Every structure is written in structure tokens, then in C-alpha cells.
């Protein structure tokens, strides 16, 4: 299963807002990008917007194939 490409777009943020997101991301061990996505999903969920679960990339080594 391949991960669909993500949509990239420029986003202008107030420097103080970016700094707050950066601190929050660091405390959650996430990138700023992942934190913004998480915060947007949470906000949409509170508004009742239903989203499909994101397709996550598989991590780690692939399973060994039997020979």
C-alpha cells in the first residue's frame, strides 16, 4: 500500500504563533508540519467535521521473505 502524496502550499503565520506551534511540536516530539496537521484535525473534529484516518507510512524494516 503506497502513501498518497500530500498537498503542499505556502502558509503565512504570525511569528509568535509559529513559535508557539514550534514549542508545542517539540513537547509532543513532532515536526511543526505534523503538529499543524494534528491541530487542524482536532479543530475540525470539535466542529463536527468527520475525516478519514490518515494513511500512515510504514516504518521499520520490511518483513523477511521466505526463500
pTM listed for this prediction: 0.73
Whole-number Å distance between alpha carbons of 28 and 20 = 12
pLDDT of res. 56: 73
Predicted pLDDT at 60: 84
Per-residue pLDDT of the chain (67 residues; tens, 9 = 90+): 566 788 899 999 999 999 999 999 999 999 999 999 999 999 999 999 998 887 777 778 888 887 6
pLDDT at position 26 is 97
User: Taking the domains of the chain in order of start, what are their residue ranges?
Assistant: 15-46
Amino acid at each position: 500500500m503506497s502513501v498518497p502524496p500530500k498537498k503542499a502550499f505556502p502558509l503565512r503565520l504570525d511569528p509568535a504563533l509559529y513559535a508557539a506551534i514550534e514549542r508545542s511540536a517539540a513537547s509532543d516530539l513532532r515536526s511543526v508540519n505534523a503538529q499543524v496537521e494534528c491541530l487542524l484535525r482536532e479543530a475540525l473534529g470539535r466542529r463536527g467535521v468527520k475525516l478519514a484516518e490518515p494513511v500512515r507510512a510504514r516504518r521499520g524494516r520490511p518483513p523477511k521473505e521466505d526463500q
